[in-house]
Amino acid sequence: MTIAQAHKVDPRRASVAIAQPQSKDARLRAAFAALVSALLVITMLVTITPVRAQSAPPATFADLVDQVGDAVVNITTSSLVASRQGPGPVVPEGSPLEDFFNDFLDRQGPDRGPRRSQALGSGFVISEDGYIVTNNHVIEGADEITIEFRAGFTLEAELVGTDPNTDIAVLKVTADAPLPFVDFGDSTAMRVGDWVMAMGNPLGQGFSVSVGIVSAAGRALSGSYDDYIQTDAAINRGNSGGPLFNMAGEVIGVNTAILSPTGGSIGIGFAMSSAVVTKVVDQLREFGETRRGWLGVRIQDVTPELADGLGLAEARGALVTDVPEGPARLGGMEVGDVILTFDGEAITDTRGLVRIVGERAEGQTVPVEVVREGKPEILAITLGRRETAEGMAATSPDGQVVPPAPKQVLGLTLAPLTDELRAQLGLAAGATGLLIEAVDPASDAATKGLAVGDVITEVAQQPVTDVASFQASVETAIENGQKSVLLLIRRAGNPRFVALSLSN
């Protein structure tokens, strides 16, 4: 019998078999077979349908390089620096080395004047009429800036404006024909693990390309406006100011810094995000300088202990510690307010608030949501200009303190302010509060950094003038089941909130 024949069935016999009822064992075997078949189908579906589709790495980056490469430039700067000044080597008169050093100095020339110093960096063209973005530290102090294009020609550049806070500078060149340029992309859309490509002039090896991924986002190094993309794409000296591209050929960062014990790339590079850079560039092109919004408050982060003392459900926002003369005071903001949203954007910490305020324009009126003594309020505040405010110096004198009649609460030895103490501390004649005369080193106050000479002006967001009222506020907090009590202290004129534990 052939295989084909083995599977041939007489229709009449088949109909009979179908018409007959199955035995119990036959039904069990059929059910088991159906179950196995279903499990096989499910296994196949899981195998061929992953939980999340993953894009394959590009076979080549060459097309992307061709697309954007002509807009990336090498930057050479030149500046006049003074020669080293100061006394020469001290050689005792009559020493056998005297003639040697005299001959050496004579060979250097009788008049060693200033010399020119050169530096290299990178940049990229953002408009066909010749605007170029780079780092401020690439061109800082330069009196000559030369731009070299991949096509082989060079142009002299003029400085449009700089922003040291974000290390961004804008240059301008004039060309006979429209220049190739690149657009900015949305850095906030980048995810950790996305492909990126860096281009620039590393170590003077012009028009080099390196690729990698986004290693992290939202990194802060040292500035108030930091929002760095971290990447493992190789970035070295000379890459500064160059672009970091996404796979669409859009600039999502400006290569700025590396973390390295050797000075060379170890795969930890940082590019200032386009979300920050685009706003800075727009202002530099329009005004030649930045014009950031200014709220005019001193603030600190809300810790879990501060949140408990303030009666907040979660530890977020920016706690106002001082409201000097300025936009916030005019808008009705008070010490102890917790800023939760600014112009509709949620505030998680002080750094976020500073950055968001700086992105708004001088003179703009914005809604600010605060919590004041447990109740929400909406304030309308017209912003000032930060650059103007930063030019105002504010100093507070220190003084040695001899407080009278000290008493101890929560590990703090306290005394009320007197006219003599106010004068020593440089406080206003009517200033109120309690002076910290000593701190128990085993107390939570010592752990939180309170020190002799600090002045406590508020307890539980209420003004305090004597030790008795301080003690009463502490007892009330304990009775209410609070784990901590909120203090507002001033040190050398600078205010900050501290939440002291009530458990010791």
Catalytic residues: 137, 167, 240
- DSSP H helix total and E strand total for the chain: 14, 28
Q: Which tokens is 449 given?
A: 């950094």
How many of the other CB atoms lie within 10 Å of CB of 275?
20
Q: Which residue has the tokens 């050929």?
A: 249
Minimal CA–CA distance to 258: which of 275, 277, 234? 234
Specify the long-range contacts of residues 416-425, CB closer than 8 Å, at least 24 apart.
Answer: 416/465, 416/466, 416/467, 417/455, 423/399, 424/399, 424/400, 425/397, 425/398, 425/399, 425/401, 425/453, 425/455
Minimal CA–CA distance to 119: which of 152, 150, 141, 90? 141
Q: Are 318 and 333 in contact (CB under 8 A)?
A: no
Q: Which residues pair with 271 in a beta bridge?
A: 229, 255
Q: Which tokens is 442 given?
A: 């085993």
Instruction: State how beta strands 168-172 and 195-200 pair.
Output: unpaired
Give the CA radius of gyration of the chain.
35
Contacts of residue 231, Cβ cutoff 8 Å, sequence gap at least 6: 196, 198, 212, 213, 214, 215, 244, 253, 269, 270, 271
Q: Are 435 and 401 in contact (CB under 8 A)?
A: yes
Distance CA 495, CA 487 (A): 10
